[in-house]
């Protein structure tokens, strides 16, 4: 390896080289392009004014908003609880990078475009599964599930800015209105201050856009918005607010009562006609002899159609965050982190495999996990060690497609020498439709 002095020498040489070439490029531009452009603009302006009488005006600043296509598949699918009505301009977001998978609508198998099974390094298979969510999605007997294409793909190196400050403020006002609160002040954060300076993904003109907005309400509630469209409400700073009905600790016996009360209290915020819910995550840890608890409940619009129900439960929902310790658990957060659904379009309804076939695929190594194949060759998965399975859509800004998976949970002890990854994702879409 180089010494730090050698590294500094190389870096300095590259920086100076760039600066010199930049000066040369600028000089060439000034000598050649600028005079030509000036002449063209003057002639064009004169002609336009003479021939049409039109006065040349400065165009308004464009926003980076693509045409939103909701995830909705049927009329029963819910409308996201918070929406904006601002005029949109159909234009690819400038933060968008090329998808990892080259989507080819002409690559058709049995009438459906071939899709990417969804591997993204460090994303899909990197979850710890201490808790197995009972999301109520049962694919038994359902042959087709919709798949959506992410129209706003970017990798982990980018952030998409879809909404501008005025739209973020409008959503914050809407949320405050639904909660009966008054906004007393706002705080914004520049895109450039969040992402740093990365010219590969974020052109200079992006850096002054507003990405984060915090709206402070008079009662201490903070409404957070980001330029991608996610929003979340933090109640009473780090303290949260007391749970309804005097509930201090969450148990199997009072969960139904708690959720009924919370859904009633915040019904205006959610906007659901027939809300469903499930406990999507739960964990606890001990610190200095005190137990800390964290519960995430996911709420969504229920539907009699099982496919719509699955889509809403997985992709079109809100989260309720309740945290606390042995003394008391309190409501800290309600938010919607599924904005990507608004920047997606349906590709088609795809035939899926059964759970038994998914298990066969798992044992045949056809799953998504960061475990190395060579390791798995030596340590085959024991089907008897599987501790849980569930069916879910997986979304995220860095995924090409939002599609269903069977998730198999294996205890960490199966792989004592490797990472503690326990979730194994098997694509539910039949293999012939998956890109290889």
Partner 1 sequence: MNDISESYRRFLEGDDSGLTEIIRECRDGLILYINLYVGNVHTAEELAEDTFVKLFIKKPKDKGGSSFRTWLYTIGRNTAIDYLRKNRSRNTVSSEELSELAADEEQLESACIKEERRRTVREAMKRLNPDYYRALWLVYFEDFDMKSAAKILGRTVHATQTLVYRARLALKEELEKEGFEYENL
Which residues would be at the binding site for partner 1 (CB under 8 A)? 1-2, 4-5, 7-8, 10-12, 14-15, 18-19, 100, 121-122, 126-128, 130, 155-159, 192-201, 232, 283, 285, 292, 294, 321, 333, 370, 417-421
Residue 226 Cβ vs partner 1, minimum distance, rounded to whole Å: 8
Residue 208 Cβ vs partner 1, minimum distance, rounded to whole Å: 12
Residue with tokens 């148990």: 251
**Distances 323 to 14, 225, 265, 292 between C-alpha atoms, Å:** 50, 21, 18, 7
Residue 197 Cβ vs partner 1, minimum distance, rounded to whole Å: 4
Residue with tokens 């608004």: 342
Smaller CB distance to partner 1: residue 182 or 198?
198
Residue 41 Cβ vs partner 1, minimum distance, rounded to whole Å: 30
Residue 33 Cβ vs partner 1, minimum distance, rounded to whole Å: 23
Rounded-to-integer distance, Cα 362 and Cα 350, Å = 20
Smaller CB distance to partner 1: residue 90 or 374?
374
Smaller CB distance to partner 1: residue 235 or 272?
235
Smaller CB distance to partner 1: residue 21 or 32?
21
**Distances 125 to 57, 122, 369, 408 between C-alpha atoms, Å:** 52, 7, 4, 11
Residue 297 Cβ vs partner 1, minimum distance, rounded to whole Å: 15
Rounded-to-integer distance, Cα 75 and Cα 411, Å = 41
**Distances 207 to 195, 211, 400 between C-alpha atoms, Å:** 9, 9, 25
Residue 100 Cβ vs partner 1, minimum distance, rounded to whole Å: 6
Smaller CB distance to partner 1: residue 11 or 37?
11
Structure tokens at 29: 């531009």
Rounded-to-integer distance, Cα 233 and Cα 342, Å = 20
Smaller CB distance to partner 1: residue 4 or 57?
4
Cross-strand bridge partners of residue 388: 409
Q: Which helix (H) or strand (E) holds 217?
A: strand 210-217
Smaller CB distance to partner 1: residue 20 or 385?
20
């Amino acid at each position: 390896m180089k010494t730090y002095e050698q590294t500094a020498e190389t870096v300095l040489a590259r920086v100076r080289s760039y600066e010199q070439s930049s000066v040369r490029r600028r000089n060439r531009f000034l000598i050649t392009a600028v005079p030509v452009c000036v002449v063209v603009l003057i002639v064009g302006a004169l002609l336009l004014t003479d021939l049409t009488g039109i006065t040349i005006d400065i165009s308004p600043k464009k926003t980076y908003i693509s045409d939103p296509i909701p995830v909705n598949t049927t009329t029963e699918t819910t409308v996201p609880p918070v929406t904006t009505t601002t005029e949109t301009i159909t234009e690819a977001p400038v933060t968008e990078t090329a998808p990892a998978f080259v989507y080819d609508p002409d690559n058709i198998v049995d009438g459906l475009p071939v899709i990417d099974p969804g591997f993204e390094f460090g994303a899909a298979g990197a979850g710890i599964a201490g808790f197995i969510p009972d999301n109520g999605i049962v694919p038994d007997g359902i042959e087709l599930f919709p798949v959506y294409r992410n129209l706003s793909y970017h990798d982990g190196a980018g952030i998409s800015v879809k909404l501008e400050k005025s739209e973020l403020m409008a959503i914050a006002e809407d949320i405050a209105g639904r909660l009966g609160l008054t906004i007393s002040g706002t705080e914004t954060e520049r895109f450039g201050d969040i992402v740093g300076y990365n010219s590969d993904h974020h052109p200079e003109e992006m850096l002054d856009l507003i990405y984060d907005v915090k709206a402070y309400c008079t009662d201490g509630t903070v409404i957070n918005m980001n330029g991608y469209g996610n929003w979340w409400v933090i109640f009473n700073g780090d303290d949260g607010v007391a749970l309804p009905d005097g509930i201090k600790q969450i148990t199997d016996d009072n969960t139904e009562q708690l959720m009924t009360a919370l859904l009633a209290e915040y019904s205006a915020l959610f906007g659901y006609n027939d809300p469903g819910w499930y406990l999507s995550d739960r964990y606890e840890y001990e610190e200095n002899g005190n137990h800390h608890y964290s519960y995430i409940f996911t709420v969504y619009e229920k539907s009699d159609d099982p496919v719509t129900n699955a889509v809403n439960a997985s992709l079109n929902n809100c989260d309720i965050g309740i945290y606390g310790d042995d003394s008391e658990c309190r409501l800290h957060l309600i938010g919607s982190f599924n904005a990507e659904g608004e920047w997606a379009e349906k590709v088609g309804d795809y035939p899926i495999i059964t759970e038994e076939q998914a298990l066969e695929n798992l044992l045949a190594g056809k799953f998504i996990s960061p475990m190395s194949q060579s390791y798995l060759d030596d340590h085959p998965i024991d089907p008897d060690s599987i501790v849980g399975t569930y069916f879910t859509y997986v979304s995220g800004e860095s995924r090409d497609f939002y599609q269903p998976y069977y998730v198999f949970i294996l205890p960490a002890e199966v792989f004592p020498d490797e990472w503690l990854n326990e979730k194994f994702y098997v694509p539910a879409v039949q293999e012939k439709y998956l890109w290889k």
